[in-house]
Structure 1
Amino acid sequence: MREKTRKYSSWANGIGAMAIISVFILQVIWVPAYASTWDMVDFALGVIHFDMYQMQPHFPGYPYFILGGKAFHMLVRDPVQALSLFNIFMCGSAVIPLFLLVKRLVTPSYTVVATAFIYTSSFTVLMVNQPMSEGAAIGMMWWYIWSLVLAHEKSHNGYIILPLFLFSLLLGIRLSYLALGIGILMMLYTKWKSGLLKIMDLFVYVLITILFQLLWVSGISMSEGGFDSFLRLALSFTNGHFQEWGGAIGASDLSLLDRMVKLLFVNTIWVGGSGKSVILLLLLVGSFFLLRRVKLGNRHMISILVLLAGSYFLWALFAQNVMKPRHALPLIGISWFFITVMLFSRKRTRAGSLFLILFLLFQVSHTSELLYKHTSEIPAVYQMAAYLEETDQPLVVYTWEESRVLEYLDVPFIHKKVQTYEVFATDAGYYPDRDIYLTDKVVEGFKNQGISVNDFIEVEEDFHSSELIDPIYHDLTLYKWEKPRKGEER
């Protein structure tokens, strides 16, 4: 026992342990209370009252995520903070499978510090502290990957049940991680190829996989009026996601090459790898000089991770919104895992070790700075709401998705979501005695419809918050509408 303890006791591992503990404590202390996007409001309202028809939350319901939020809601009154705390503790628990995976590839005296490198990754930690399902899903993803590796290593087929069950929990938290299910197919194929499974066994395990998924699907269906209702919601949501608002390749103006560059170089490297820190990016580039002559063992584990990363890359490229870096989190996490285990797969010189420790300390410092900024900086939508509340004159504000946030904040002024100029022109006519305001997303929408409104708007106020925290609504311009005289309407 003493010998085992000595293996993991080194000054580098001690610093790694302190890094993990420090970041976790700061995550718990600095939990933001803002629901600044449409999806965040959906999740927060789902904690208070679950109703998919009211988009509380939207399809597919994220039942295990909402259940976790409800559990923490008994401890804290704010549903936003409840969801974030569930994320923090779920992702914090992933230190265990991360350590168990890392130690298969890394020199023992670096195992804890390598785990710290992955856990304290700035952008991932920032996203975990948001009331979005990605945080809990990333934590569950590492448990799922560990279970896949464990099932392969054990000859007893009973271990196969574990990844099937954890995959059900993963999809019940975030369905868009469906692409990671290819790991189960690979595991079953490998077991069959090695003679540990017969064809009938494969059918049995596929059936078990389906039954585990039906646990949460059935629960959601019963709460929403049956499988027919659930199917209608599914068809409506998937049509919108892939064809209209979801940012998938069929609903995006970006070319395939632009999407690939955005996903790989912006989302995965610049945002995911360095958290938009030039110093961390330089340290990351510098660390590549330490990767020469690196050979990793445990080839099957590497094959699983490569397959999962490749399948999710294709899924994110074609079916996710590349304008939101959080959709690349599994790709970011697995890529960061590969870099880390290669850096620590063999004993480093004192200079190399000091460089890597410096890298970790800078990362922890940047992560801490982002966490504090996230909890102290007021989102642009909240700033706009506060500004309009202080306006003396009666008003109406026409918005895009910001209306969901204003509804959640229960603001005292009239606000309406509008997408077409015709609807706006008709509706605004009902308020001759009120000031009319429009957000920049509404104005952009009108221009995309071929309507020139420049002659009738003037900038009222600009609001800014962090692009890293909110990539879509970090810059918000509020326009005042100058009502056109008769004959000037477009």
Structure 2
Amino acid sequence: MAARVLALPRLLPDLDAVNFARSLHGFDLAAQAPHFPGYPVYVAMARLASAAGAPEVLALALPGLVLGAVAIGLLGLVLRPYLGAAGALVGVALVALLPLPVLFGATPGSDGAGLALLVLAACAVLTAGDSAPRAAVLAGAVAGVALGARPSFLPALLGLALVVPPGRRLAAFAGGGLGVVAWLLPMVALTGPAELLRIGSGFLGGHAGEWGGTVAVRPELGWRLEHLGFDIVAAGLGLPWPGPHGDSVALRVARFLLALGFSGALVALVRAALRGALSTGERRVARLALAFGLPYGAWMFLGQNLLKARHALPVVLALALLVAVGGAVLARAWTPRVHLSLAGALAATTAAVMLPVALAQGSEPAPAALLVSHVSRTLPPAGTLLFTGEEARLFEHYVPHYRAGRPATGEQLRREVERVAAAGADVYVTSTAPGAEALAPHLEPVSRFACDRRVRSHAHDIVLFHYRPAPPATPHKVL
């Protein structure tokens, strides 16, 4: 909780957060308050926090903060009978302290609440085989509710069904149906069946084939592999990654030690699995992690926008559980004092790697928010026109008296910029505007707003340009 409070941002960071902020005052998918698929479970929790008096950013982050604390505590209780004290400590410490769960556990968005509910669903499924059939119903219901908080976790939630014993799967699916109906019916009632179908089909079509960052939009294999690796390894786990990052020597050593600990635990897991030396509890936890981690990882690679590291959260959770199983395997070779000390050292190293990015997110607004603040302090609203990317929604939210447009294509950007510049407007363009590079001969850099890519993988570097139209051609003198 302390780590997530340190990472709590002061301002809304992006378009998605603004859409969620708009939903605090009225649920309207047609007005993108929020955008489809609506995240009704998360929005309901955030609106409760807002009604209780929480300010905007805190109201949107509170569901993730509170549910995260509950999920982490329950995870420890559930893992201990399967992995022992050392394995449970490793699993809980990683879920609590790895960089990506901390950053998005405090972000004003649905990711933290969705991850917490995924953890709760995994805990319920893990214990469903040892309890009465109603435990399977409960596990399915939690998974159904989790789908209403973070619909993109569907492949992971379906994967959990593979771990439910065959005799309990019907009960689990019945519970899942109840969980889904609990949020789907109110959303249909608020939006209307026909309108919901129209909005949903338009959003899914655009996400799949125009702007969603799927493999259909960005099919380059090298690009996708590099971003997938960065999202999981660097942003998710905090491990070393090529490129200049400005890390201190102590931080580089901590990242190396963390990589060493993870590698040792995973090697121990693989060796024990190949020898058939895993205990029944270790096998169940490992199967659980693979059952939801592999389907979701495939979906992330093919169907998600890899520029946004938050999509790696279920994969990071699966890896944390696998490392915990490996830690439990290693613990059998040592005395309790030694293996608990090593588990504690791994937790401390994870915290050391996480702390700088948590402090950075909590102390410095996102580059898009810094852009809005800079423009409002330095440029007059009258006569100024901006062309941006997703930051246009932040301008609309925080400084609506500034005119900021988000063109759909580079060609539209060029036409609009030339038109308003010719009419006498003072035009500014950001590097995130579609097709901004085509205007490079006429763009003069004004300011740059950047943060560590591991803190914010998407739009972590934004440049504000002043547009200088080409001077009119001088007519030739006729002799």
TM-score (norm 2): 0.85
Q: Equivalent residue of 2:463, what SS?
A: strand
Alignment-mate amino acid for residue 73 of structure 1: S
Q: Identify which range, 204-213 or 305-314, moves more after superposition.
A: 204-213
Offset of residue 338 of structure 1: 1.0
Contact 1:274–1:280 (CA under 8 A) maintained in structure 2? no
Q: Structure 1 residues 191 and 353 mapped into 2: Cα distance closer, same or farther (>3 Å)?
A: closer
2:188 to 221, 235, 241: 221
User: In structure 2, what is the Cα distance between the partners aligned to 1:406 and 1:469?
Assistant: 22
Equivalent position amino acid for 1:434 in 2: A
Aligned to 1:326: 310
The aligned residue for residue 133 of structure 1 is: 110
Alignment of 1:282 with 2:256, yes or no, is yes
Match of 1:269 among 216, 233, 251: 233
Cα-to-partner distance string for 1:17-46 (whole Å, 9 max, x where unaligned) = xxxxxxx13433653232121111111111
SS of the residue aligned with 2:83? Answer: coil
Match 1:341 to one of 318, 325, 341? 325
Shift of 1:229: 1.0
Amino acid at match of 1:286: L
Whichever residue aligns with residue 278 of structure 2, its letter is L
Alignment of 1:151-190 (within 5 A): 151-154=128-131, 156-183=132-159, 185-186=161-162, 190=165
Give SS of 2:452's match: coil
Counterpart check, 1:239 vs 2:241: no
Secondary structure (helix, strand or coil) at the match of 1:153 reads coil
| Mapped contact 1:100–1:146 kept (Cα < 8 A) | no
* Greater shift in the superposed pair: 39-48 or 274-283: 274-283
Counterpart check, 1:445 vs 2:411 = no
1:16-415 matched pairs, under 5 angstroms: 24-28=1-5, 31-108=8-85, 111-112=88-89, 114-154=91-131, 156-183=132-159, 185-186=161-162, 190-192=165-167, 202=170, 206=173, 209-224=176-191, 226-255=192-221, 258-263=223-228, 265-274=229-238, 278-287=252-261, 288-289=263-264, 291-292=267-268, 294=272, 295-297=277-279, 298=281, 299-345=283-329, 346-347=331-332, 348=334, 354-391=341-378, 394-415=383-404
Aligned mate of 1:423, from 412, 417, 421:
412
Q: Following TM superposition, by how much is the alpha carbon of 1:69 offset from its aligned partner in structure 2, in angstroms?
A: 0.7
- Cα RMSD over matched residues? 2.6
Q: Alpha-carbon deviation of 1:472?
A: 2.0
Contact preservation (8 Å) 1:461, 1:477: yes
- Of residues 415-424 and 431-440 in structure 1, the stretch that sits farther from structure 2 once superposed is 415-424
Query: Which runs of 5 or more residues in structure 2 are unaligned?
Result: 241-250, 475-479
Residue identity matched to 2:441: D
Q: Deviations over 1:184-226 (max 9, x none)?
A: 54256x424xxx78xxxx4x764553343122121111111x2
Flag structure 1 segments of 5+ consecutive residues without an equivalent: 1-23
Shift, 1:426, TM fit? 4.5
Distance 1:269 1:29 in 2: 22
Q: How many residues align?
A: 447
* Mean CA deviation greater in 159-168 or 295-304: 295-304
Report SS of the residue matched to 1:267. Answer: helix
The change in CA–CA distance for 1:235 and 1:329 in structure 2 (over 3 A counts) is same
CA distance in 2, matches of 1:153, 1:308: 20
Matching residue's letter, 1:296: L
Change (3 A) 1:356 1:410: same
- 265-274 vs 60-69, greater mean Cα deviation: 265-274
Which amino acid is 2:180 matched to? Q
Which is further off, 332-341 or 350-359? 350-359
- Whether the aligned pair in 1 keeps the contact of 2:103 and 2:358 (CA below 8 Å) is yes
Cα distance in structure 1, aligned partners of 2:172 and 2:85? 36
Aligned to 2:468: 482
Could you tell me the percent identity over the aligned residues?
20
Per the TM alignment, residue 72 of structure 1 is displaced from its structure 2 partner at its CA by 1.4
CA drift at 1:354:
4.3
Distance of 1:381 and 1:415 partners within structure 2: 13
Equivalent pair of 2:3/2:97 in contact (CA under 8 Å): no
How far off its partner does 1:311 sit? 1.0
1:445 counterpart letter in structure 2: G
Alpha-carbon offset, residue 484 of structure 1: 2.5
Deviating more after overlay: 102-111 vs 169-178? 102-111
Cα deviation, residue 141, structure 1: 0.7
Task: In structure 1, give the amino acid aligned to 2:253.
Answer: I
The aligned counterpart of 2:456 is 470
Q: Is the 8 A contact 2:214 2:305 kept in 1?
A: yes
Whole-angstrom CA distance in 1 between matches of 2:2 and 2:410: 49
For 2:394, give the aligned amino acid: V
Cα distance 1:185–1:465, how it changes in 2: closer, same or farther (>3 A)? closer
Asked if the contact 1:438/1:479 (under 8 Å) is kept, the reply is yes
Distance across 2 between alignment mates of 1:465 and 1:54: 31
Residue type at the aligned position of 1:248: T
* 2:323 alignment partner AA: I
Query: Distance between the aligned counterparts of 2:163 and 2:365, measured in 1?
Result: 46
Pairwise CA distance, 1:344: 3.4
TM-score norm. by structure 1 comes to 0.83
Mapped to 1, the partners of 2:303 and 2:414 lie a distance apart of 35
